[in-house]
Amino acid sequence: MKKVTGLGGIFFKSDDPKAMNEWYAENLGLPTSPYGTAFEWLDKDDPTIKGSTVWSTFPTTSKYFDPSTKPFMINYRVADLVALVEELKAANVTIIDEIATYDYGKFVHILDPEGNAIELWEPAVEKDEQQTAE
């Protein structure tokens, strides 16, 4: 079974997310919004499928990474979240929450052996209009 298919995002805590976003925009050219930025790309095996990798800052008071005490979290794109969660449960991996489904995909959070929160994301398939029209 295909598991992780790529990097979905990098999230980190900041004392001042707004100022951090502005610094990255000014100094590194990231087109940031209050939610960070998304780097869009096309799947190499099927260029009609669009993808993105997110970069986002969170306030230091955010509970989103809990129960991890680390100031960062990595989001991995996965192929079949439901099947992967079953495999992880069988391997006694700590599953933090239940699978949540949104228009843009399914998510679940797990912990690695050192207590780092990991977000797993099965994106909803989004086709590139230009590629499919050709």
pLDDT digits (tens, 9 = 90+) for 118-134: 999 999 976 555 554 55
Quick one: tokens of 86?
């079953």
Find the distance separating the first CA and the last CA of the chain, reported in whole Å. Answer: 31
Domains and CATH numbers, the chain: 4-133 (3.10.180.10)
Residue 111 pLDDT more than 80? yes
Q: How far apart are CA 53 and CA 134, in angstroms?
A: 25
pTM: 0.86
User: In this predicted structure, what is the pLDDT of residue 7?
Assistant: 94
